[in-house]
Amino acid sequence: MSKNPIPITVFTGFLGAGKTSVILSLLPKLSKDYKIVLLKNEYGDVEVDSKLAQESNLAAVSEILNGCMCCVLVGQMQNALLEIRDQYHPDRIIIECSGSAFPATLAFQIREMERNTDGDFKLDAIVTVIDAENFIGYEDTSPTAKMQASYTDLLLINKWENVSERQLETVMDHLHTLNDLTPKIRCDGRNGVDPLLIFGVGSKLFLDENTSAQAQDSSHVDEVQTLTLYRGLPPKHNHQNGDEHHDEHSRNPNEKPTLIHRDTLIDHLTKIRRESVWRVKGFIRVLEANIETVYILNWAFGRYDLTKTDPSVLADFSSVQLTAMGERGEVRRAIGPFCRELELSIL
């Protein structure tokens, strides 16, 4: 039995809320000898955020792909926590959930880990990141977004700087209705939030081991549909629910694809329909001033970032590997114009 249990801080929040950015903003504020391991879960099969996180001063990054660890990937999360404990002996583990994860389910699972390991772990806090620009829109259609705001120890209000005071008041009113007593803290832009406000909370959520019934609903996975978009060499892909489709742009994998001009990419990113497409992320090789450059693309609800990265993340015969996430039944049609213009195939 560990004398000092490893505290676990869980970050939830809907797709594109800014969880990764908030987590990475915490790290420079900590002492250099404070060892944190990030366990990240995301739909799709492209380890985008892990590439960003690996450039930080995290002790390690582990990523669970192609599913949600609060339901279908429960065993993987538990095994990953044990491996992190044994291999790294960290001062803290941060779990970053997929955008559709139920915090109640995760809290219950970690409580089970506390009991099953005689206290090697402890749930320190469930932290929910709220996208102030888009929360009202997706709250209306997503039961998961409401659950995330309701079952949490702390609400972090992100992306509030560009909304009007009246819009922000509306968001806060909705959050107070869902969760009146939980503290609500505004992030300071790219500076995020003070770790002292997040670490050491000592969560009281789901201390009772008889609360499992409330934590077993996995119906939320039907809210989000995930597609893999690519140009050139098809990525290794675990097709979920038998959802496989090759469009008219599928080509010989040994044929080196032509590159997309950066200006062309940006032009078409601005035209993606944010009502049905909520997140696009991955790697893309572009032609910029006659030079090949590989970027990490992060697009969420109309906002996007392009971050230069090591060209080795893409195979020689691949120029695009993206994951698109959005409204089930609508995302394929909504992302169609973007794929046609950039000659992307869909899996």
Give the pLDDT means over successive 10-residue stretches in the chain (347 positions).
82 90 90 90 61 67 59 65 92 88 79 92 96 86 85 95 94 95 93 93 78 48 83 66 45 70 96 92 92 93 91 89 91 96 93
Q: What is the pLDDT of residue 91?
A: 95
In the prediction, which pLDDT does 170 show? 95
What letter would DSSP give residue 105? H
- Taken as a whole, the chain contains a residue count of 347
Return d(Cα 157, Cα 328) in angstroms, integer.
26
pLDDT for residue 75: 60
Question: From residue 235, how far is each of 32, 50, 294, 310 by CA, in Å?
Answer: 37, 17, 16, 17
Which residue is associated with the tokens 């009113």? 173
Task: Give the pLDDT of residue 246.
Answer: 47
**Distance of alpha carbon 15 from alpha carbon 184, whole angstroms:** 19
Q: Note the pLDDT of residue 239.
A: 42
pLDDT for 151 equals 87
Q: Are 295 and 315 in contact (CB under 8 A)?
A: no
Q: Are 76 and 97 in contact (CB under 8 A)?
A: no
Can you give the pLDDT at residue 198? 94
Backbone angles phi and psi of 214, in degrees to 5: -70, -20
pTM above 0.75, yes or no: yes
